[in-house]
């Protein structure tokens, strides 16, 4: 529902008669995709003893909107006769402020298109039975608003309908409880203090005065989680959240949102989790440990639009350093923000040991043109390399080293992790042979869960003769072309 029609509903709550002037209840306009006979149109929208005579009661498909409200001066049994043939309503349905006990007079209805002002059943003070709507279908985009029907127990309905349609249910005798929770500034006062939510959680239309304390009790969310169209500046209300197991996390269109700032947040499941974060505050940033959480879950972050926040001290007190020259790098870094380059200058400083405790690099790691390094023991604690930038060469590159022969990284648990999700490790142009057989390469590839690009070829191609059209071809050609040039230069020197 858009905000204009929303305010219209609010107005109608206060002064029911305003509905007649309310700009969002349209004059009858035949919806474009309504193809029934014109005699099956209902142009009057408001159902009452005056308009019902014009209702096409013999039609199975009716084009038009139906509103039952305080001015509907017909009983349920009177209405049954008129609506017994109605199967397809290509329009919207609103039932508000009526005295109906049930909507059984619409029991042959199967489909509501739900255009314009949606499906809304609110403030019907006598309504106790809505069984009939469990058989209804609507367009997938339709939100089912069922609110403030003080005698209605909507619990079963929540269970049955929520897997198929989005529900906005609150203020009834019983609501959805902790199942399929849809929170906005109107519904949050009714939200029980759930520690766990099933069937997904949506948070929307929260302004900066809304009291959202009830959300701080949440520890687990099972089902997709989405936070959008709010004015929140951070999501610290979710500071006790520990696990999201719905496969999807979407945070978008929150113009003031700068941070997630999710303290206890530790786990995303299952393995193929997808995270979307976009259209928030232009300076929106993730803390490195939040990116680490996504990396540990190997979540797909191709839809994440964010920077890394500059943080001084992590919540877990682990020391985070900015990438710097090896002379200036502190000696006790556990995490490094930025690109780390190990080359012959770095080698000369004799300070590579400063990397020995580093577990995470939030940036990239390049080991290139070193002279005397034979192995990567100085990276023995490294667990992962992760970054948020979308375009970049492989995050881990081992290029043109002279004495390097063993690239073992015993603690690397994640493939290089970025929105590209290509998991590439590039190992090229080193003087010594690093992988002698496809198996040597596969062992490294499997232990790092990555994809190895070794001198332009994949693991299985190692040792195979090069065929025209292979990936290795360009390497071969450049070798052929460079070799005479190289010998020429060496000759010149002589």
Q: Where do contacts with ligand NAG occur on this chain (CB under 6 A)?
A: 33-36, 61, 88, 90, 113, 134-135, 156, 160, 208-209, 231-234, 236, 247, 256, 261, 270-272, 274, 300, 302-303, 344, 347-348, 369, 371-372, 375, 377, 400-402, 406, 408, 421, 429, 431, 439, 442-443, 446, 458, 460-461, 470-471
* Minimum CB distance to ligand NAG, residue 276 (Å): 6
Write the CB contacts of 20 (distance below 8 Å, at least 6 apart in sequence): none
* Of 21 and 207, CB closest to ligand NAG: 207
Q: Looking at beta carbons only, is 90 or 149 nearer to ligand NAG? A: 90
Dist CA 336 CA 355 (whole Å) = 9
Between CA 115 and CA 159, with CA 228 as vertex, the angle to 5 degrees is: 65
Least Cβ distance, residue 269 to ligand NAG (angstroms): 9
Separation between Cα atoms, residue 239 and residue 408, nearest integer Å: 38
- Shortest spacing between CB 99 and ligand NAG, in angstroms: 26
**In this complex, which beta carbon is closest to ligand NAG, that of residue 219 or of residue 380?**
380
Instruction: Specify the residue, 328 or 471, whose C-beta has the smaller distance to ligand NAG.
Output: 471
Residues 178, 196 contacting (CB under 8 angstroms): yes
| CB of residue 401 to ligand NAG, shortest distance in Å | 6
Shortest separation between residue 242's beta carbon and ligand NAG, angstroms: 19
CA 413 to chain centre: 24
Contact present, 308 and 277 (Cβ < 8 Å): no
Residue 473 Cβ vs ligand NAG, minimum distance, rounded to whole Å: 10
Encode burial over 448-458: b for 16+ CB neighbours within 10 A, e otherwise.
bebbbbbbbbb
Count H helices, E strands: the chain? 7, 29
Q: Are 115 and 91 contacting, i.e. CB atoms less than 8 angstroms apart?
A: yes
Q: How far is the CB of 436 from ligand NAG (least distance, A)?
A: 8
d(CA 185, CA 209): 9
- In 72-129, the DSSP E strands lie at 88-90, 93-96, 111-112, 119-122
Q: How far is the CB of 208 from ligand NAG (least distance, A)?
A: 4
Q: Which is nearer to ligand NAG, 33 or 77 (CB)?
A: 33
Q: How far is the CB of 163 from ligand NAG (least distance, A)?
A: 10
Residue closer to ligand NAG (CB basis): 27 or 209: 209
Smallest separation (angstroms) from ligand NAG to the CB of 287: 11
Least distance in angstroms from the C-beta of 195 to ligand NAG: 20
> Judged by CB, which is closer to ligand NAG: 14, or 32?
32
Decide whether 338 or 429 has the Cβ nearer to ligand NAG. 429
Q: Which is nearer to ligand NAG, 110 or 439 (CB)?
A: 439
- Angle (nearest 5°) at CA 270 between 269 and 274: 85
Smallest Cα–Cα separation from 121: which of 88, 151, 77, 163? 151
Q: Is the Cα dihedral 221, 258, 5, 13 positive or negative?
A: positive
How far is 439 from 451, CA to CA, in rounded Å? 14
Tell me whether residue 99 or residue 374 sits nearer to ligand NAG (CB atom): 374
Reading the block at residue 107, the tokens are: 């029991």
The candidate with the shortest Cα–Cα distance to 397, out of 410, 387, 414, 385, is 385
Q: Is the peptide bond before 270 cis (omega within 30 degrees of 0)?
A: yes
Which is nearer to ligand NAG, 209 or 490 (by Cβ)?
209
Cβ distance to ligand NAG smaller for residue 84 or 207: 207
CB of 236 to ligand NAG, least distance (A): 5
**CA 400 to CA 430: how far, in whole Å?**
4
The half-sphere exposure of 478 on its side-chain side, counting CA atoms within 13 A, is 7
Sign of CA dihedral 372, 376, 380, 381: positive
């Amino acid at each position: 529902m858009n905000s204009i029609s929303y305010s219209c509903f609010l107005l109608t709550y206060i002064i029911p008669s305003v509905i007649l002037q309310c700009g969002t209840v349209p004059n009858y306009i035949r919806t474009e995709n309504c193809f029934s006979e014109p005699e099956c149109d209902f142009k009057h929208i408001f159902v009452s003893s005056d308009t019902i005579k014009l209702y096409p009661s013999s039609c199975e498909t009716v084009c038009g909107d139906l509103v039952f409200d305080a001015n509907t001066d017909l009983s349920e049994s009177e209405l049954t006769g008129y609506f017994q043939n109605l199967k397809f309503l290509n329009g919207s349905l609103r039932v508000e402020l009526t005295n109906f006990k049930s909507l059984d007079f619409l029991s042959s209805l199967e489909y509501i298109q739900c255009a314009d002002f949606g499906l809304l059943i609110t403030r019907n003070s006598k309504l106790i039975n809505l069984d009939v709507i469990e058989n209804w279908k609507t367009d997938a985009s339709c939100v089912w608003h069922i609110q403030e029907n003080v005698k209605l127990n909507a619990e079963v309905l929540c269970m049955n309908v929520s897997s198929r349609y989005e529900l906005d249910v609150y203020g009834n005798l019983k609501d959805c409880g902790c199942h399929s929770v849809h929170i906005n500034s109107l519904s949050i006062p009714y939200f029980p203090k759930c520690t766990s939510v099933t069937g997904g959680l949506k948070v929307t239309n929260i302004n900066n005065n809304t009291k959202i304390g009830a959300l701080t009790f949440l520890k687990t969310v099972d089902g997709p989680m989405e936070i959008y169209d709010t004015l929140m500046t951070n999501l610290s209300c979710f500071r006790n959240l520990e696990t999201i197991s719905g496969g999807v996390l979407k945070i978008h269109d929150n113009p003031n949102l700068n941070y997630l700032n999710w303290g206890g947040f530790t786990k995303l499941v299952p393995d193929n989790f997808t995270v979307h974060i976009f259209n928030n505050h232009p300076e929106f940033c993730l803390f490195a440990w939040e990116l680490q959480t996504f990396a540990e879950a190997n979540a797909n972050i191709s839809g994440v639009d964010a920077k890394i926040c500059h943080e001084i001290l992590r919540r877990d007190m682990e020391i985070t350093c900015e990438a710097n020259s090896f002379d200036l790098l502190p000696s006790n870094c556990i995490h490094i923000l930025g690109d780390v380059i190990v080359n012959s200058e770095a080698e000369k400083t004799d300070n590579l040991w400063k990397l020995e405790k580093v577990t995470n690099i939030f940036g990239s790691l390049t080991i290139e043109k070193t002279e005397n390094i034979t192995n990567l023991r100085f990276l023995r604690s490294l667990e992962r390399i992760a970054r948020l930038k979308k375009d970049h060469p492989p995050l881990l590159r081992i290029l043109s080293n002279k004495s390097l022969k063993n690239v073992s990284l015993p603690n690397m648990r994640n493939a290089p992790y970025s929105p590209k999700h290509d998991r590439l490790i590039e190992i090229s142009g080193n003087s010594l042979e690093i992988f002698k057989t496809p198996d040597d390469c596969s062992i490294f590839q499997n232990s790092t869960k990555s994809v190895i690009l070794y001198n332009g070829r994949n693991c299985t191609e190692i040792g195979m003769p090069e065929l025209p059209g292979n990936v290795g071809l360009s390497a071969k050609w450049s070798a052929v072309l460079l070799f005479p040039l190289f010998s020429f230069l060496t000759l010149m020197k002589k």
